[in-house]
Amino acid sequence: MDRHVEAFLEMLAAERGAARNTVAAYAADLADFGAHARARGLGPAEAGPELVQSYLRGLAMAGLSARTAARRLSALRQFFRFLAREGVRADDPTELAESPRLPASLPKALSEAEVEALIAGAASLEGRRGPLAVALVELLYSSGLRVSELCALHAGALRADAPLVAVLGKGAKERLVPISARAREAALAARGELKKPSRWLFPSRAAGGHITRQAVGLALKDAAIAAGLDPGRISPHVLRHSFATHLLGRGADLRSLQILLGHADIATTQIYTKVLDEKLRRLVEEHHPLAG
């Protein structure tokens, strides 16, 4: 591996607290670019703007999606900015490179009635599966947590003096997220079903000691089937989207939503405004007397 790439990856893990999978993804993207550079007699750190452009053209000719190309360009930008900060080079060859245009994608949110039906379905599950499923749905929907954040919640994450949960998000950044009273009660009820104490809010026999993404997804699917909903439409990410969409639809502002979701860039949060734009468009088409 190129020594500059190796130093960059070490920085991601040590300074930014990037997860192992994230570091591996950067390593793969930079290895692909490194092969392109070496085929032209250069190391990845020696590339100029022309080489970056030829690499991006090659991705397009190979039929890679715009999303994949944009991700690889983002990896290159961060790599070359790291080299500039370290004094390895004075310029950024990606500065003038244009990001591929991504297709607009709308989050797939449930309706409020469907969320209530999902919670009722979770409550109908037998044994300890019921309280656990209710707690998972209530927490995901009332907080907008990522599934990774939910799985890694410590036993003390629920604040005793306020309806808040302490969340360790991306980049090891902690934030306090408000939750509903019923979500808090559901989490405490699920914890009351445990046979022995644990450091995790939702413990399991998995290697990490806490509930896994797969187990959360399975609990949601079971709740969906019990509620008569299509299980293919239900996932932790859909509940996160539903949380954001419903809040925005009821008057929440983007900046507050950004903080609640833990987005580093408000541009990420702005995708939800498209959901409202689409809703308003349908409203006019369906009800305006001259829409036809």
Query: Of the listed 4, 72, 210, 240, which one is catalytic?
Result: 240
Helix (H, G, I), strand (E, B) or coil at 233: helix
The reply to whether 237 belongs to the active site is yes
The reply to whether 146 belongs to the active site is yes
The reply to whether 221 belongs to the active site is no
Distance CA 249, CA 55 (A): 42
Q: Distance between alpha carbon 130 and the CA centroid of its chain, in Å?
A: 26
The reply to whether 170 belongs to the active site is yes
Q: What stretches of the chain adopt beta strand conformation (E)?
A: 164-168, 174-178
Terminal C-alpha separation, the chain: 62
Distance CA 292, CA 289 (A): 7
The reply to whether 81 belongs to the active site is no
Query: Of the listed 170, 175, 213, 221, which one is catalytic?
Result: 170
Query: Of the listed 4, 36, 72, 146, which one is catalytic?
Result: 146
The reply to whether 213 belongs to the active site is no
Query: Of the listed 72, 184, 191, 263, which one is catalytic?
Result: 263
Residues 6+ apart with CB under 8 A from 244: 107, 109, 144, 257, 260, 261, 269, 272
Closest CA to 77 of 94, 91, 90, 57: 94
Query: Of the listed 237, 255, 274, 282, which one is catalytic?
Result: 237
Distance CA 4, CA 76 (A): 12
Distance CA 73, CA 55 (A): 10
Distance CA 189, CA 128 (A): 10
For residues 17 and 171, the answer to whether their CB atoms sit within 8 Å is yes
Phi, psi of 166 (to 5 degrees): -85, 120
Q: Which residues are catalytic?
A: 146, 170, 237, 240, 263, 272
